[in-house]
Amino acid sequence: MSFNYDHYKPQSLFSLEGRTAIVTGGGTGIGLAQAQGLAAAGAKVYLLSRRGELLEEVVKKYNFAGVLEGDVTSKDSIEDAVRQYSEKEQWLDILVSNAGGPGPTHFGADTSSPDGETDPAKKHEPVDAQTYKDRILKDNSFENWDDIFRLNSHSLLFLSVAFLPLLAKGSERGQQQQRKYTSTIIATTSISAFVKQSQMHFAYNASKASAAHLVELISYELTYSTKAKVRVNSVAPGVFPSQMTTDFSRDPKTSKSRDALEEKLPTMAIPAGRHGEDEEMAGVLQFLAANEYMHGQIVALDGGFMMSEP
């Protein structure tokens, strides 16, 4: 009698049939790939966006469940999004906090080798103290730092807490299923949270480092300070086609410059020699959503970038 491998097959291991999901920033780029990955695994996916009407076409094209309108940098707006969702569903299984932005850019190091050895196009010529001061203060303000931290970091906590009762209900329901599961929060951080370079955007890297630490804090607090059984993990992308790289999406209607990103690849210190693909991002989301033993972890999906860049 041959062994039955059915429960080891991908459609069993990563099945999200019957589960509900919310993805913020899911209209383009990384967020869209995440939403597609969850939907392909069987999840009922809602997109949460500040301008919900702009995503109606995306929802129809990819057969998502619907759009929730909300600003993730506003506590009142997040609460309203919870209300909108509660009118449609009684529980939530997967919350993906993906919405983010680049923040101010400025002069600074963007290569592991200041002499340009790893990337001649980004050869870094040191400047005197006054010039450095003038350049950094010109491009940065407390206001634009506040804005990017609200979007890239603070929103993760407020979203997680606001949807926690619904996530807890998802876990309660999950424990009654034949294949038991718990609800999960998945945050999109970045490898920029861990590199030592500013990459010419101090605020972005600092905000993503804050978000990465929040993943660990929220994971711990939900485990030991609440009765909710909710897992918290993160994917830290490297170079992926997105609005923050070249405004690229696989969808030709929103793609502006796939070639522009690929032209940069020879000068990027990526051992894989290419950018990440939508399917690779989708696969990690399916894994984090389905694997019950993943909790409090940050998965770097970077083609080996952090091995070559400090």
Does the residue 301 lie in any domain?
A: yes
122 band by pLDDT with thresholds 50, 70 and 90: low
Task: State how far the Cα of 241 lies from the Cα of 278, in Å rounded to an integer.
Answer: 8
Q: What is the pLDDT of residue 209?
A: 98
> Ramachandran region of residue 107, left (φ > 0), alpha (ψ -120 to 50) or beta?
beta
Q: Residue 230 domain-assigned?
A: yes
Q: At what angle do helices 164-174 and 75-86 cross, to 10 degrees?
A: 40
Q: In this predicted structure, which of 104-108, 133-137, 242-246, 275-279 has the lowest mean pLDDT?
A: 242-246
- Integer Cα distance of 174 and 296 in angstroms: 20
d(CA 70, CA 302) in angstroms, rounded, equals 30
Rounded to the nearest angstrom, the gap between the alpha carbon of residue 281 and the centroid of all alpha carbons in its chain is 10
Residue 32 lies inside a defined structural domain of this protein: yes
Question: Which CATH number goes with the domain that contains 188?
Answer: 3.40.50.720
Top mean pLDDT of 52-66, 157-171, 193-207, 257-271 is at 157-171
In terms of residue numbers, what domain contains 291?
Answer: 6-308
Lowest mean pLDDT among 48-62, 96-110, 145-159, 283-297: 96-110
Please enumerate, as own/partner, the contacts of 60-65 that have beta carbons within 8 Å and a separation of 24 or more. 61/251, 62/32, 62/35, 62/36, 63/39, 64/26, 64/35, 64/39, 65/20
> What integer pLDDT is reported at residue 121 of this predicted model?
59
| Count of domains forming the chain | 1
Residue 112's CB: how many other CB atoms inside 10 A?
16
* Confidence band for 307, pLDDT divided at 50, 70 and 90: confident
1 within some domain: no
Residue 208 lies in a domain: yes
pLDDT surpasses 60 at 257: no
What are residue 94's phi and psi, to 5 degrees?
-135, 125
Asked if the model's pLDDT at residue 111 lies above 90, the reply is: no
Nearby residues of 123 by Cβ (< 8 Å), 6 or more positions away: 111, 114, 115, 116
282 assigned to some structural domain: yes
Give me the helix-helix angle, 278-290 and 29-40, nearest 10°.
50
- Give me the torsion for CA of 74, 78, 79, 80, rounded to 10°: 100
Task: Decide if 126 is inside a domain.
Answer: yes
Residue 197 lies in a domain: yes
For helices 202-224 and 155-162, what crossing angle results, to 10°?
30
Q: How confident is the model at residue 247 (pLDDT cuts 50, 70, 90)?
A: very low
